[in-house]
Amino acid sequence: MSEISKEYIELIPNLFKNFQRLNQKSSHLTHLQNQILEYLFMNQQPLTIKQISEVLNVPKQQMTDLIKRLMDQGYITKSQNRVDKRSFVIELTEQGKFSQQEKWTKIYQNFVNDLTKLNREEQLDLHYALHKVNYLLTKMEES
């Protein structure tokens, strides 16, 4: 069990470092700005500043400045919440949606480029290993 735990713990920073490298080449926005846009993109619906703040673990005061900058750049809009008139919802603009689609395309292209550094057998090994890890982690969640 301790060997499995050790490999799992080593996997996390390796994946994070690799993804961070792929992501750095794909956008001119800050890490937090990217996280906000990505979270909105993945949810496909308007969200309150509080919802975004809680999930990303960013203080609301800091979020206010980040939201303003993203609005000024045309990536998001802010409008009154129809359900709770005391709050506002944040939504991606078409430019915001396009920027996220473009970013994920660049990440994919960067990843494919990295795959060329592996021979065919190593690519098959990586594919199998990723598939197996995803399957087993999902199975552990269900149990």
Report domain extents, the chain: 2-142
Measured between alpha carbons, how far is 119 from 23 in angstroms, rounded to an integer? Answer: 24
Pull the structure tokens for residue 84.
């709770």
What CATH architecture applies to the domain 2-142? Answer: Orthogonal Bundle (1.10)
* Residue whose entry in the numeric block shows the structure tokens 């992501």: 23
pTM for the model stands at 0.73
Q: Are 74 and 133 in contact (CB under 8 A)?
A: no
CA neighbours closer than 13 Å in the CB half-sphere of residue 77: 11
Task: Assign 52 to helix, strand or coil.
Answer: helix
Which residues in the chain show pLDDT less than 50?
A: none
Number of C-beta neighbours around residue 17 at 10 A: 10
